[in-house]
Chains A and B, each alone.
Chain A
Amino acid sequence: MKQIEECREILKDPDGYVRKIKAGGGQIVGTFCSYAPEEIILAAGAHPYRLFGSGEKIRLAEAHLQSYCCSLVRGALEDALAGRLDFLDGIVFPHTCDSIQRLSDIWRLNIPATFHLDVVLPVKLDTAGARQYLIDVLNRFRAELGEKLGKTISDDDLRGAIETMNRIRASLTRIDEIRGSRPDLLAGGDFHALVRASMIMDRRRLATLLEEAAAGLETRAAAAPTPAGRPPKRIILSGGVCNHPDLYAVIEEAGGAVVGDDLCTGSRYYSGLIGEAAEPITAIAGRYLERVVCPAKHRGLTDRADHLIRLVRLRRAQGVIFFLLKFCDPHAFDYPYLKEALDREKIPSMLMEVEDRLPADGQLRTRFEAFVEMI
């Protein structure tokens, strides 16, 4: 499918892609996390670019961050210190976990070339006070970002950005539903490419591309109402940051298919639309308050477990694979209670803890084969 091809092309060299945007006069703003208010960055006419760490060996970051820190944080700092992110005009740190919190300070002290903004979001998302505070924080971000980029972000700018982001998220949601009901039509690696590219690509081009992709897939589904081939074992992927496209192929070769996810780089990134009727900042805040919660935030005691079980039932999944990054505290703390909730519902699960790179192909394959066979 040519839209997927376009995404895969970009993923071959994401930094190169944004360098071209920069060369064309664009302003690149680096972000971390699904809580970064991309719509406000977009409204400022800038290009939001999510950072993951390029996976290069850690040398320079050793002098700033101990080894007991996740590879996302160490890797991103490494890239910045090594000068690989010199295309960034600025960096935005939404408040999430303790490591990102300290990375923000360390970055501010050591990477002077980029402008630096903290978006200290509330940790609680279930009180009126937190809601007001979130609105205040987003308003501050709007003012400060505007100042850094030399422009005023108007309500119309915001509405335009909201519309674009809603188009993107609505399309990704449609595509997610298609891979959920028809995993035979969209390989996991292709779905990953679309989502990953969404964090990199020019958002206006992306909005159109994703609508075309969704429409294309719907056409295919209508043209071939009966899935071809043996039905795979249906799996939900749950976890934090998953920047490992190869994972999907291994799961598929083992006879499984990812039919839904509960990932920070997946559904938490694209789920939920922004209300278009309300005042724009209030509307944006609404999405972050209501969207599927990440473990670094608090909204009730069983939100995530309830959501995960609902998702498993909705997608008729047979098992859950937890994909966790080593040293990711919020996710590691949630894991036992999520597993317990799944056990109570008799939903099988397995845990994969990854430091940076995926374990050797053979090892991975064996584990997935055993799991798929079991479920």
Chain B
Amino acid sequence: MAEKDEAKEKRKIKMVGRMKEIMTTYYIEAKTAEQTGKKVAWITSGGPVEPLIAMDIIPVYPENHGAMIGASKMGVDLCQKAEAMGYASDLCSYARSDISCATVNGGPIGGLPKPDMLVCCNNICGTVLKWYEIQARYFKVPLFILDTPFCHTGFAPEARAYVKGQINEYIAFLEQACGRKLDRDRISEVGKLSVEGQRLWQAVLDTAMNRPAPLSAFDAFFHLALIVTLRGTQIAVDYYKQLLAEMQERVASGIGAVAEEKYRLLWDNLPVWFRTKWLSEKFASQGACLVADTYTSAWCGSLKYVDENNFLETMAECYSRIYLNIGVDEMASQVMAMVDKYGADGLVMHSNRSCKPYSLGQYDIQRIVGNQKGIPTLMIEADMVDERSFAEGQIETRIEAFIELLKGRTL
């Protein structure tokens, strides 16, 4: 049954335009930093951005750029260039794209601005260590590594002490790079804005508890940008306040992300950046809404560890205990909590070749969730940026079969 254009228009999220404006301005500022005398730091997606904001350093995210490269379908070309440079094709496609991109100023925005410094936090993976070492050698700029020991079953006191000490080292590193001291009042303020932003982001995601969900994970993948890149700024807080208001309006009017929400699913792992629209439509056309996901919720997952009145002190634990830095069993528990919270009928897991910490363990999580919640899982084998690892026909068939399975279960 074809959907009326009017209804489709209503379903579009209005804040999308504002996000595009903000991100455009942000990238322009970053690329003209040399002229404005501001410093640019490249930082990992799980890295502590708040001190950068407090020091007026522009944070740039090669991973966010990687997502843009994927979305613009420029991933294959850049990955091939990296392979020609000697990088194995099995390596993370974010890293491969960024490493080659830097040498040719490729990608959708003509390349990232040259960094004045590099900040690498390995809470997300060990790949970033190698990636940032490569860029440090390439750009000949200082590299700071925040080493957050893996929390297999908890956060050990010695790890806490180690990370806390490194937060101080990080601040000293930034002060050295900028030639001035960190304003302690400013970082306090930024910390509060960071927490407020995270709370708002959580509230936005929580609106998907409603039936129908006003936003899907595919929407969340898009609106995630600010809590990642500009966490700690008033811009991010203002944006999410407005986005939350729009979501609440949609809930009040019964506007769902999907026309006729029949099945509610949970997405796991990074997006398939070059196919978010295709996947969104495949699921939506069958009445399936991805109502939550483990990826976007990772940027408000540390709320339980942060004290907004003591941001610097609690940073160590926050950054160490993120979703990718915990044991597989703890991840499974979080998935099950989300299944309950959002009322999920099934899981959709992206087995992402590029991300071992996220993908290795998925089979066990699938099993645990299946046993304890009795819900099925659809496994999609792909990659986040490298389209060569996406077999469209196969994936389409699997999605259809999964929907049939869900249909059978609701009968």
Contacts and interface: CB of A to CB of B under 8 A. Distances in A.
Is B one of A's binding partners? yes
Interface of A: 63-66, 68-69, 95, 97-99, 101-106, 108-110, 118, 120, 122-124, 127, 129-130, 132-133, 136-137, 140, 295-296, 298, 301-302, 324, 326-327, 329-330, 332-337, 339, 353
Given A101-B357, A127-B169, 19 more contacts: A64-B363, A64-B364, A66-B359, A66-B360, A98-B360, A99-B360, A105-B327, A120-B156, A122-B149, A123-B129, A129-B166, A130-B147, A301-B143, A302-B137, A326-B88, A330-B126, A333-B133, A335-B86, A336-B86
Contacts of A68: 90, 353, 356, 359
12 contacts: A65-B360, A69-B360, A102-B361, A105-B329, A105-B361, A109-B364, A120-B149, A123-B147, A133-B149, A327-B90, A332-B87, A335-B87
Interface string B84-114: 0111101110010000000000000000000
B353 A333 contact: no
B150 interface: yes
A347 to B, nearest CB: 16
A124 B86 CA distance: 25
Interface stretch (B14-22, B157-165, B201-209, B257-265): B157-165
Contacts of B88: 324, 326, 332, 335, 353
Nearest to A93: B152
A103 to B, nearest CB: 8
A333 B150 contact: no
Contacts of A140: 156, 158
Contacts of A98: 125-127, 356-357, 360
Contact of A108 (B165, B327, B351, B367): B327
Given A101-B357, A105-B361, A333-B127, A95 B150 contact: yes
A75 to B, nearest CB: 15
Contact of A333 (B131, B136, B158, B165): B131
B389 to A, nearest CB: 9
Contact of B91 (A103, A301, A333): A333
A329 B126 contact: yes
Contacts of A330: 126, 130
For the complex of A and B, list the 4 residue pairs with the smallest distance between their C-beta atoms, beginning with the closest. Answer: A333-B130, A136-B158, A336-B86, A133-B162
Contact of A101 (B131, B137, B150, B362): B150
B279 interface: no
Contacts of A333: 87, 91, 95, 127, 130-131, 133-134
A329 B91 contact: yes
A66 B351 contact: yes
A66 B350 CA distance: 12
A296 B150 CA distance: 14
Which residue among B88, B158, B159 has the maximum number of chain A CB atoms within 10 Å of its CB?
B88
Interface string B189-220: 00000000000000000000000000000000
Contact of B360 (A102, A127, A332): A102
B316 to A, nearest CB: 12
B328 interface: yes
Interface in B324-378: 327-329, 351, 353, 356-357, 359-364, 367
B145 interface: yes
A282 to B, nearest CB: 15
Contacts of A334: 130
Contacts of B90: 68, 326-327, 329, 332
Contacts of A326: 88, 90
Contact of B165 (A95, A129, A302): A129
Contacts of A104: 152
Nearest to B90: A327
B152 A108 contact: yes
A99 B166 CA distance: 25
